[in-house]
Structure 1
């Protein structure tokens, strides 16, 4: 499942790398979200646009640093898997969180709560998208 010369990483190493990419990705997402809100974009539209920026960074970083690439999964298939699952998980969870909780908690707590819930689910989806497996 790994390219020639590519070192096999332990699951613990992948989790740490994924978490570091996730922290950077979260900063990118929040910065873009903040900027778009300041530019008077509605919160749900700003969430989608910020997610698009962040997902591009996340795919590249996770594909080339966090996980071993499965050479049988073509780059565009891996990207489509990553984006489609990311849309269902991170974008869906954060948008749902904003739609449901923003009125009661505020936009920022709702956004951050959605990001936290999506993190674990995103690890599994990223691993499947890039390595072609969920567990092991």
Structure 2
């Protein structure tokens, strides 16, 4: 293959790829959460464990398939950005949702609601951490 640069993917293409990874990632998160609950891990620590498994998968899949990684951002730095934002957004939103809503609407609806809200915020966070930009 030639050394010519590959054309950049459109934002629409990135959103579709991000959504596909997000669906797989949600399955991994929910399955990990279920397994940890079955192992009698309390809900909030189970949420943290499931998040950690999911964030590793999400970084690899989004970093190498959904987005074009900015070569000036070291892989370690991109992962730290991604995980830090993921902790603040997805882990924070889903844990807050569980803590505030589980007693009212149930554990699983609270978990799933948090996942949905976090997915929207995570697109911008992933784009910034991997590509080094938010918009355009």
TM-score tier after normalising by the smaller chain length: over 0.9
The 4+ residue runs of structure 1 with deviation greater than 4 A are none
Gaps of 5+ in 2: none
Matched with 1:44 is 44
Aligned 1:63-102 pairs, distance under 5 A: 63-102=63-102
Query: Is this contact kept in 2: 1:6–1:68, CA < 8 A?
Result: no
Q: Note if 1:108 corresponds to 2:117.
A: no
Q: CA RMSD for the aligned pairs?
A: 1.1
Number of matched residues? 134
Gaps of 5+ in 1: none
For 1:134 and 1:64, the matched residues in 2 are separated by 18
Deviations 1:45-65 (A, max 9, x none): 000000000000000000000
Deviations 1:36-95 (A, max 9, x none): 001110000000000000000000000000001101100000000000000000000000
For 2:33 and 2:6, the matched residues in 1 are separated by 36
Matched with 1:124 is 124
Q: Secondary structure at the match of 1:134?
A: coil
